[in-house]
Structure 1
Amino acid sequence: MPTHRAVHVRSAGEPLTLVDVETTSPGPGHVRIAVAACGVCGTDHGFVSGGFPGMTWPLTPGHEIAGTIAELGEGVEDHSVGERVAVGWFGGCCNRCVPCRQGRLIHCENLQVPSWQYPGGYAESVIAPANALARIPDELSFTEAAPLSCAGVTTYDALRKTRARPGDRVAVLGVGGLGHLGVQFARAMGFETIAIARGAGKREDAERLGAHHYVDSTADDVAGALQALGGAAVVLATAANSQAMADTVGGLLPQGELVVIGATTDPLPISPMQLILPGIGVTGHPSGTARDVEETMHFAVLSGVRARIEVRPLADAANAYAAMDEGRARYRMVLTM
């Protein structure tokens, strides 16, 4: 039986270990991907630490996968061996539940997420449902495509589904793994872009990424600073800090939107009165479907938006994960096989 290398986490909180595992063939409706690159996402911490229900061990993390189709399962007709594809948080849907039948595939009741419902992309080979595949444009390398399949689509799709129009002021809270893409996408979409982050040290980076304005949340009253700029139509909250999110609400224009993509379990300290009088909306936004990933990558090609990455080999996965987990990554770590 042929084998491939993959990272295993034996149980919650255990170290990431490189092992050899059997390489199996895909079942009906699935494909086997020869993985070329896999991004290291902040959400991987939740999997490695056992923070999601129904997890099975050992676990292989990774849901920002890019590679080449190596083998087709029975019934797969829309893809071919050798095709360059990506798989993100959206790792397949059932096409049978009510949300799927309503076209809301990202809310599938049986949504499959790589590393949760099946082994993820910290590996040389992955088997994934065919309906999870996003075709990678020729203009993008595997290492460029991988982060766009989760971090990229989450920020891009969240921004394009707001009511903001070109020329409106849009603030991005956090200039990290998600936020540095959010700033680029906001600028490329024609928004007057405001970056909000902790400390003066992020100003230069934020401006280089495309921010027209920078707000240092450690030195300024964030809501006041936003209002001084004229108020924001949208705040895209990428930083996983509930208090920091709440601090932006007073800086929104009437009928403004706080769009939350930074994952935290802490309650949002916002009062109903802060929302009622100005008609503020607070929305949580998940990732995007395989088609959304394709459209994100297409826009990235048109606009020049790219994740800022540091590439490490699969054998160095534990160190790459630690760099992300400890906040030493700037901005995305990508493993190559």
Structure 2
Amino acid sequence: MGSQSKTTMRAQQYDARDNKLHLNEIPIPEPREHEVLVKVVCASLCHSDVMLFEPNDQGLILGKNPVTIGHEASGTVVKAGSGSEASKFKEGDNVGFLCAVECCFDCTQCRTVHNSWCKTGKTKMQGFTLDGYFQEYVCVDARATMVLPEGMDVKLAAPLFCAGVTAFHGISDCELKPGQWMAIIGCGGLGHLGVQYAKAMGYKVIGLDITDQALEEAKKCGADHVFNSMIDKDWQKKVLEVTNGGVDAAVNFTASKKSYDDAPAIIKPGLGLLMVVGIPRQALELNALDIALGRYRVKGSNNGTCYNMKPAIEFSAKHNIMPHLTTYKLEEVPKMIELMNSHKAQGRMGVIFE
């Protein structure tokens, strides 16, 4: 194994003292009994990684400092811990994994809601409170890890283990019937996957974004109609016309409060759904009378648990749904962040480790 001869590795670490990234040399960790040591093949950037650099009131907590960023990756097992869960993995397995660790994985909250609400209160998130995945090796919890389906490319799979699981459940948790209308708000890193999942589930899809390149991506992924809500002043009216009165569900993948404020106007009155996925810096404002009178419903969908990870990944493999990934070197993570902040990125951006 590569890490036996090597004791240190490179890592892109966020330092709160200067609010910047530093490419540091740090020790390669050793797996505990419930963990597997993975050589990272691809780590991809998610919008919540960028939130570390911004003031926010949405509960994003930094733990150790400096901390390796990144919570979306795929890689190859190089060593397994001695526990029963870890020993199911063998050297050379291509795997993906989720970032919640130190939780029990067994309480009702862990099994059915999210590991963040584990009854132990001890949950930590790799990439935020513990070292994440923009480093050459990482120890991950075996219970939140799975072997990739046969034929899935380990170099491309990384975004499926946050963006993919999130987008899949954001779409499927709307519980629409084939032929119903869905608006996907934000057609970038999450949304371009959301469009693919929605089309594979048989929905009619409207893509909404503020950049033309994201809308081009949505069209490539199969969106039936796309509108630029920044440029087209009549976009809401056009959505109502195309859908004959509004969409059955609007799934918001953006971090824009304005897009949340604008969404109810395009939802079909009575039983239409606003699905909350993206997290703006500011708190959302909802009209209590609209909710009380059933003008529309509000639901949330999170980035998944080890229990709902497999259906998302297996659906992706079955329908050949993969992220459109632009690749970079580890040294270029600051450039990736800059592109994400300036809305110039298409699809997902990731580091491929040689």
TM-score normalised according to structure 2 size? 0.87
* 2:239 match: 226
1:285 equivalent in alignment to 2:301? yes
Within-5 A mapping of 1:56-75:
56-75=64-83
Structure 2: distance between partners of 1:126 and 1:330: 27
Partner letter of residue 214 of structure 1? V
- The RMSD of aligned alpha carbons is 2.2
Aligned to 1:250: 265
Secondary structure of 1:306's counterpart equals: coil
Q: Partners of 1:171 and 1:70 in 2: how far apart?
A: 42
Aligned 1:95-174 pairs, distance under 5 A: 95=105, 97-100=107-110, 103-106=112-115, 107-108=117-118, 109-174=121-186
Who is 2:3 aligned against?
Answer: none
Calculate the TM-score normalised by the size of structure 1.
0.91
CA–CA distance in 2 between the matches of 1:98 and 1:209? 36
Q: Which runs of 5+ in 1 are unaligned?
A: none
The structural deviation recorded for 1:12 is: 4.9
String of CA shifts for 1:229-284, please: whole Å, max 9, x gaps.
Answer: 22211100012112212212122122111001111132334312223334411122
Distance in structure 2 (CA, Å) of the matches to 1:13 and 1:42: 20
For the pair 1:263 / 2:279, whether they are aligned, the reply is yes
Deviation at 1:92?
A: 6.0
Aligned counterparts of 1:23 and 1:328: Cα–Cα separation in 2: 34
Contact in 2 for aligned 1:257/1:282 (Cα 8 Å): yes
Distance 1:278 1:96, change over 3 A: closer
**Contact 2:69–2:131 (Cα < 8 Å) also in 1:** yes
Q: Does the C-alpha gap of structure 1 residues 24 and 304 become closer, same or farther in structure 2, counting only changes over 3 Å?
A: closer
Q: Determine the C-alpha separation between the residues in 1 that align with 2:323 and 2:213.
A: 19
- Contact map agreement 1:29 1:130 (CA 8 A) in 2: yes
Task: Indicate yes or no: 2:250 matched with 1:235.
Answer: yes
From 94, 101, 123, give the equivalent of 1:84.
94
Structure-2 residue corresponding to 1:304: 320
Are 1:179 and 1:238, in contact at CA under 8 Å, matched by a contact in 2? yes
Deviation readout 1:72-112 (Å, 9 max, x if unpaired):
12212322222111123445632355523x64344434333
**Aligned equivalents of 2:159, 2:289: Cα separation in 1:** 38
Number of the residue aligned with 2:192: 180
Tell me if the contact between 2:187 and 2:215 (Cα under 8 Å) persists in the aligned partners.
Answer: no
Partner-residue secondary structure (3-state), 1:156: helix
1:301 deviation in Å? 1.9
| Matched AA of 1:176 | G
